Amino acid sequence: MKIIFTRIALTFLFLLTVVSCTKEKKKRILNFPPTNLVTENLIPKPLKIIPTNGGFALDQFTAIYTTKNAAGYEEVAEFLAKKIKAKTDIDIQVNVDEIPGREGVIYINQSDSLELNTPEAYQIYITTDSVILNSNTAEGAFRGIQTLRQLIPEVSTDTLAEYPIWTIPTGKIIDSPNLGYRGSMLDVARHFFSVEDVKKYIDLLAYYKYNVLHLHLTDDQGWRIEIKSWPKLTEIGGSTEVGGESGGFFTQEDYKEIVAYAAEHFITIVPEVDMPGHTNAASVSYPFLNGNGKTPKLYEGTHVGFSTFDTRKDTVYSFINDVVREITEISPGPYFHVGGDESHVTKKNDYIYFMDKVVEIVKQHNKIPIGWDELATANVDSTSVAQYWGSKENAELAVNKGMKIIMSPAKKAYLDMEYDTESKFGLHWAAYIPTDSAYIWSPEAYDGIPLESILGVEAPLWSETISDISEAEYLAFPRAIGYSELSWSTEENRDWENYKVRLANQAPYLERMNVQYYPSPLIDWKKSKNTFEEIKKD
């Protein structure tokens, strides 16, 4: 009897659900304005968009389903549900039991289609009834859900419905990245940034489909990563920063937390230990490292090029081996950055001897060495990567050695360059880089570096002039958004006039994320509520 009663109750509940969904369906169809997927404010611009001018209703009845037997898909769906909740306040369930008659379903599928020709490629088919996202890997699904997040309007769109609806334009999106390495660098050495700051930066990078965060962990002014076998590096070398503030450092647990958070966002952390120059903080901690018999003082200024390791001492290489070992043990990504820039007080022969040895140490720890473009002057080959920042000759040398190049030309890609003479923070030794200049160049055809040598683009944010995350945001945004398009989208799909409209429409997202972006006067910002200055005062 009890069972029969329960059955009746369940059937009634089921019918109620179907009836209510059917009832709501009429409303959705009636209230859809025409849409155009092509004019949506997507950044980076997808490879191909085919609009069908209808609308998919995201609402409280929507659910997400994923392929269950493919690693990572359910986590990607949970991530999407969390972000939808943050934006719309609706709770979307993932992989709940199918409810017959349910409408508005998002499917995230693993597909072996040959069209999905890179791990990050994805395709989205949006109809009035469903959103189907296909990708080869969870990474591709993750890039695809960033597109979906960007398609959900900031405010609900159907004012006639009894409950809020967010209309997603229908059509098809076919997308994959133009360049495989799309990074930004944060200099936590000149000024230290907390784990929470780094996580916020990761949130923002992920939304624009970046896949690398390079952490500049050591410099003259500070050593920011705990090395258990050499504890004074952080005890002494991490105790201050530019301007004499208190400094700080990541414990290995902190660093692991950053690495794990980045991995959840399909972002690889590239750790950098800059050497043989930029090493004052290390030599203050362990004076044998500099080989000149003097104990240097902690440095809180901003000059460069005055420090060096002793390149001819075995103990220096044992030290470096320990540092590389401890960091690589907690860095699952494929790269280790050895710096190598501006070693002005290291003799040329010593520099080459040193970089050759350090590159070998990194390889022994099964990582691919990356160095600033000066690395190309050592006896390195195609198994190391050069990061082009300043010297075209070095970049050419690297190309001739078969090395892959990360494009970070300071004149175009340095996030710490001032926008113009009015900029509140930044430097201008390479250039002033207004928002348009940051966008209008081709990393695939810059200074004659051939496309086949280019690994990708990285926008470094040096921190001599910025001491907290809001100051970092002022320099990074909006320019970092442009670099995402320069590295993901093809040249045919990049156009300043078109981009600047899409950029203007990022304002509500940046405001919601409490990003203190620079309100470039070149952009007609579509602010959602207050002016930028009002928000800043809050």
- Should residue 372 be labelled a site residue for ligand ACM when binding is judged by CB under 6 A? yes
Give the Cβ contact number of residue 441 at 10 Å.
Answer: 17
Closest CB 214 distance from ligand ACM, rounded Å: 11
Pick the closer one to ligand ACM by CB: 342 or 511.
342
Which amino acid makes up residue 334? Answer: P
Pick the closer one to ligand ACM by CB: 175 or 458.
458
Structure tokens at 501: 């409209």
Site string for ligand ACM, 327-366 (x = CB under 6 A): --------------xx------------------------
- Paired sense of beta strands 335-339 and 268-275, if any: parallel
- Should residue 210 be labelled a site residue for ligand ACM when binding is judged by CB under 6 A? no
For ligand ACM, which residue has the nearest CB?
341
Closest CB 430 distance from ligand ACM, rounded Å: 8
Pick the closer one to ligand ACM by CB: 389 or 439.
389
For residue 176, give Cα distances in angstroms to 251, 333, 414, 489, 495: 36, 21, 25, 8, 18
DSSP state of 32: P
Closest CB 278 distance from ligand ACM, rounded Å: 8
What is the full DSSP assignment across 2-17? HHHHHHHHHHHHHHHH
For residue 443, give Cα distances in angstroms to 25, 75, 159, 451, 469: 47, 33, 44, 8, 27
Site string for ligand ACM, 282-321 (x = CB under 6 A): ----------------------------------------
Q: What is the 3-state secondary structure (H, E, C) of 312-377?
A: CCHHHHHHHHHHHHHHHHCCCCCEEEEECCCCCCCCHHHHHHHHHHHHHHHHHCCCEEEEEHHHHH
Site for ligand ACM in 511-530 (CB under 6 A): none
Q: State CA 379 to chain mean position distance.
A: 32
Site string for ligand ACM, 448-467 (x = CB under 6 A): --------------------
- The CA dihedral of 509, 515, 520, 523, to the nearest 10 degrees, is 0
- Should residue 474 be labelled a site residue for ligand ACM when binding is judged by CB under 6 A? no
Closest CB 338 distance from ligand ACM, rounded Å: 12
Pick the closer one to ligand ACM by CB: 138 or 455.
455
Nearest one of 387, 318, 307 to 357, comparing CA atoms: 318
Q: What are phi and psi of 20, to 5 degrees?
A: -65, -35
Closest CB 210 distance from ligand ACM, rounded Å: 19
Closest CB 387 distance from ligand ACM, rounded Å: 7
Closest CB 90 distance from ligand ACM, rounded Å: 45
Which amino acid makes up residue 502? Answer: R
Pick the closer one to ligand ACM by CB: 40 or 341.
341
Closest CB 504 distance from ligand ACM, rounded Å: 31
Q: Taking a C-beta distance cutoff of 8 angstroms, is the pair 402, 382 a contact?
A: yes
Q: Taking a C-beta distance cutoff of 8 angstroms, is the pair 510, 535 a contact?
A: no
Site for ligand ACM in 76-105 (CB under 6 A): none
Give the Cβ contact number of residue 431 at 10 Å.
Answer: 16
Pick the closer one to ligand ACM by CB: 326 or 342.
342
Closest CB 426 distance from ligand ACM, rounded Å: 13
Q: Taking a C-beta distance cutoff of 8 angstroms, is the pair 142, 163 a contact?
A: no
Beta bridge partners, 49, equal 173
Site string for ligand ACM, 388-427 (x = CB under 6 A): -x--------------------------------------
For residue 482, give Cα distances in angstroms to 26, 434, 485: 41, 11, 5
Pick the closer one to ligand ACM by CB: 23 or 344.
344
**How many residues of this chain bind ligand ACM (CB under 6 A)?**
4
Pick the closer one to ligand ACM by CB: 340 or 519.
340
Pick the closer one to ligand ACM by CB: 372 or 518.
372
Rounded-to-integer distance, Cα 451 and Cα 442, Å: 10
Closest CB 499 distance from ligand ACM, rounded Å: 27
Q: Rg of the chain's alpha carbons, rounded to an integer?
A: 26
Pick the closer one to ligand ACM by CB: 169 or 443.
443
Closest CB 427 distance from ligand ACM, rounded Å: 10
Pick the closer one to ligand ACM by CB: 201 or 372.
372
Helices (H), 401-478: 410-413, 435-439, 469-476
Site for ligand ACM in 21-40 (CB under 6 A): none
Structure tokens at 493: 């799909």
- The CA dihedral of 78, 79, 82, 88, to the nearest 10 degrees, is -110
Structure tokens at 35: 């849409």
Closest CB 475 distance from ligand ACM, rounded Å: 14
Pick the closer one to ligand ACM by CB: 24 or 341.
341
Pick the closer one to ligand ACM by CB: 79 or 372.
372
Closest CB 383 distance from ligand ACM, rounded Å: 21
Which residues are at the interface with ligand ACM (CB under 6 A)? Answer: 341-342, 372, 389
